[in-house]
Every structure is written in C-alpha cells, then in structure tokens.
Amino acid sequence: MATYRIDLKKLMKITGRFLRRHDVPEHFSKSKNEKYTLHQQLVLFILYCLLDLPIDLFGEWIGLMDLSGIGLDSKPHYSTMWRAWRRFSPRFLRKLVKASGRGGRDKCIALDPTHMEITRPSIAYCKRTKRNPAQEPNRKTTIATGTRSLRIVDAIMHKDSHRHGLDDFEEMAGEWIKGKTIVADTEFDAEERFHGIVLSFGGKGVAPLRHKNIQIWRTNGARRKQLRRRWPGRSYRRRPMAETLNSMLKRGMSAFLRGRTVWQQARHFYAKCLAHNMIMRCQE
C-alpha cells in the first residue's frame, strides 16, 4: 500500500465507469438473476489484489468498508467472492488489461521480462532445509509499459520460467505498436523476431546490440545497421520506466502469485495488471 496512494471510492467509481464504457457484460448468466453482478465482483477482485490479503481476512476487511459506490448494500461472504472470481478466465482479464492500457499519450513503449514468485518460503526454513531462496520456482512474465502514462499496454505469462522474451513478444505484438518506438534490453536484439515484427506493424524498435566492437558491414540486418550507425539515446533512456513499473507492481501488490495451478496464477497476475491500470487512470 505504500506504493499506491489512491482514494478507494474514486478507484471503484472509475473502474465501474470503465467496465460500462467497454461493454463488459454485467451478469454471468442470461437470466441476470445474480445477487452480485459481474462488475461488482471485478471491482472486489481489484481491491483484493491491491490489499494482498488472504481471502478470509479480505472478507473481514470488506465488512468494514463502505461499498455503496458500486451498489452493494449487503456485503458478500468471502466464499461467495472466491467462487465468483474463479469464473474469470485469464484471457478475459488480459483483454481488460489491453483495453485499460489504451488512451495514453505514449510515444515510446518499453518491454521488460520479469519473474513473479509462486512460493514464499521463509529464510529460516530455507536455511534449515538447505534451499536457495533465489532458485525457488517462479513464473516469467513480459510486460509492455507506456513510458509516459505508466500504463500496462499488454502483458503475458506462461508456465515456462526459462521462456525467451522474444517468444512472448511474437505473441504480444499487435496494433498497439503502430506509430510507437519500442525499446527493450539486449535480450530482444534480433533482426527478424523483434525489429522485423515491429516494422511490420508500423513502429520502430530500439534494442542494444550484443556485440559492441563489430564493424557495420559485418552487422546482420538493415535495422541493426541503422542502430549501429546512429544510436537513438533519447528514446532508449525511456526504457528504465519499465523497471519502475515492475517495482511498483511488486512493492504495491507483492511479487507473489496466489494459486496452485498456472491458470489460477495467470488470473491473479492479469488482475494485478488491471488494478495497476485502474490506479493510473485515477491519478491522471
């Protein structure tokens, strides 16, 4: 909570307005007979990610909060919320993340892979069992960050923690690249799999070349030769904003993903990204 400072009533109001404007269905079923609507459950899920509490403690916290801003007079039980949240698929939440990331005045978008924890053993336990905390299982994610608005334009997570960032970028690439400068670290130095894809969508890619002391005529790729001739330092200096966003996400809502399966962990990850975008919209 130290990273994000926001009025929770304003957050609930803006989230509800966003869901209505983007035609998100208000009910799970066609009969529309639910006591708590899909919009209300999404707002509660965002608050759950922001507070980062166990579900039973979050249920007690909800009982003390004024939820009239989203039309809730009676407070749902924590088991009711948990059953409703299980119906949100990672694909659905990722669509909301991409929709909430649009609209910023970003001319530069930074890519940065980062790892999220799926286990949280104590230091004392690791010492007793002779385990290295740095080698605990994790999930590798790739996040595209708007360097001016600090919104998450797109994000992706897979089971393989050793998956290369270029594999994620090929899946993430879309119309959000058009007219933008895409900056990334040395991991994305590839003519076809990075620069070629960016150019095909109407953007420009900037990534440091792996080998510095190589002649231009020995450099492969037209775009990589351009970068070696004239390095766009002004654009690349925006790349650390991706590190800033990763730090905000992990310090504000923890680096731990709740859930036993990859599906559950992906749902929690995309919900955190959606919560971050809603907070950024509140601060504009």
What is the per-residue pLDDT across 67-107, written as a single tens digit (0 to 9) for each?
888 888 888 899 999 999 999 999 999 999 999 998 888 99
pLDDT for the residue numbered 108: 94
Task: Locate 187 and state its tokens.
Answer: 């991991």
Range of the domain at 113: 101-242
Asked if residue 42 belongs to a domain, the reply is: yes
- Say if residue 47 is in the same domain as residue 164: no
Q: Domain for residue 119, yes or no?
A: yes
34, pLDDT greater than 90:
no
Residue 279 lies in a domain: no
Asked whether residue 272 is domain-assigned, the answer is no
* pLDDT band per the 50, 70, 90 thresholds, residue 1: very low
On whether both 60 and 177 belong to a single domain, the answer is no
For residues 34 and 140, what is the distance between their CA atoms, to the nearest angstrom?
36
42 and 108 within one domain: no
Query: With a threshold of 0.85, does the pTM exceed it?
Result: yes
Same domain, 158 and 33: no
Beta strands in the chain (DSSP E): 108-117, 138-146, 152-157, 181-183, 204-206
Q: Are residues 117 and 233 in the same domain?
A: yes
Please indicate, yes or no, whether residues 125 and 70 belong to a single structural domain of this protein.
Answer: no
Task: Decide which of 22, 55, 88 is a domain's last residue.
Answer: 88
User: Residue 263: its pLDDT value, please?
Assistant: 93
Domains of the chain: total: 2
Q: Is 134 found in the same domain as 53? A: no
Q: Write down the pLDDT at residue 211.
A: 84
pLDDT digits (tens, 9 = 90+) for 181-216: 999 999 999 999 999 999 999 999 999 998 888 888
pLDDT averaged over the chain? 89
